[in-house]
Amino acid sequence: MRIRRGLLFAGMFLIPVGVMTLLVRAGTIDAGSLADAWRYWPLILIGFGIALLLGRSRAASVGTAVAALVLGVLVGSAIASGGDWIGTFSQCGTTNADSEQITRSGTFTEAATIDLKLRCGTATLTTGPGDGWGLQARYEGVAPTIYEAADRLQVQVPDGSGVRRNDWTITAPTDRFGVLRVASNAATGSFILAGATLQGVTVQANAGDILVDGAGATIADVDVDINAGRARVTLAGTSQGRLQVNAGAIDLCVPPDANLHFDVADQLTFVTNLADRGLRQNGTTWTRSGSGGTISLRIEGNAASFTLDPDGGCR
């Protein structure tokens, strides 16, 4: 029987991802002991090297299986540990002394959209009273592109070469802040939204660590899409939207009296703790009655975990 190496790799990868996560959930393995698992990533190269050396022979499947198993164990360990492993990875080096800085400020006169597109670095956004905004953008290499208007602030790393590390600090006004949009690659983001009333928050992150803290804020619609990363999201009241994670983890914190309605994609490699948090399942729908606002979300994951109200919170 001929073994299709693509399917072999997928199967051998997904099994340990699920197994490692389940072992931690069951208390068999201490999550803290897995925090440094990514130190052993060179074993993946060894597995692929074996596969290349053995060429098209049947034994080449051994190398493929080794690489898939190691990668699956590392990804599963990183997900289960809940550590800041992606955040460490995504620092893209430290900021050099010769970096440059742009400082801008302005005023929104209409409900505004803040649009951030970051590659390699950090973005930190906090809110303050009034209608004025501020930006400090430290960068290396090519400067970020900044567009400002009465109803918009857009900060973007330009496409192409010459872009190095960027570190942005943004202050947004609670009175004129309507929409937050974030697209990041190999970056960390911290978005503290207290006091804001937002129509929408959209985050798309690849290889990153994202914090969306909506405590004390109103977020009508939330859409978070994480690939090979981690997100921590706090919602304080009535909200709807979608949370999706592939090869990573999402933590969600909600008020204890929140009325919850989750539509969860049932995947073999997607682990949740919804039953442990008292939600009832009916098919793909998980619910919990409460006297507070309703939080209605579509939740999807592959080779990932979703944790509701994790011990220690979402900070």
45-89 confidence digits (pLDDT tens) = 565 565 555 555 555 566 566 666 766 676 666 666 555 444 444
Could you tell me what percent of the chain has a pLDDT over 90? 52
Which of the listed residues 81, 112, 131 is the one where a domain comes to its end?
A: 81
- pLDDT score at 99: 82
| Per-residue buried b or exposed e for 197-210, using 16+ beta carbons within 10 Å of the residue's own CB | ebeebbbbbbbbbb
pLDDT given at position 60: 56
Whether residue 199 sits in one domain with residue 118: yes
CA atoms within 13 A on the CB side of 219: 31
Q: In whole angstroms, give the CA distance from residue 224 to residue 182.
A: 9
Are 169 and 124 spatial neighbours (Cβ–Cβ below 8 Å)? yes
Residue at which a domain ends, from 20, 51, 81 = 81
Is the same domain home to 154 and 231? yes
Its domain, for residue 14, covers: 5-81
CA distance 38 to 8: 23
> Which one has a higher pLDDT value, 83 or 240?
240
pLDDT value for 263: 97
Q: Which amino acid is at 122?
A: T
CA distance 297 to 78: 25
Structural domain count, the chain: 2
285 and 257 part of one domain: yes
pLDDT at 167: 95
CA dist list (Å): 13 to 5, 21, 228, 303: 12, 13, 14, 9
Q: What's the chain's average pLDDT? A: 82
Same domain as 150, residue 38: no
Residue 7, both tokens = 């399917």
What is the pTM assigned to this prediction? 0.75
CATH number at residue 284: 2.160.20
- For 146, 169, 295, the CA distances from 136, given in Å and listed in that order, are 11, 5, 34
> Sign of the CA dihedral 193, 127, 107, 130?
positive
Q: What does the pLDDT look like over 253-298, one tens digit per residue?
A: 999 999 999 999 877 668 889 999 999 999 999 999 999 999 999 9
Q: Both 163 and 134 in a single domain?
A: yes
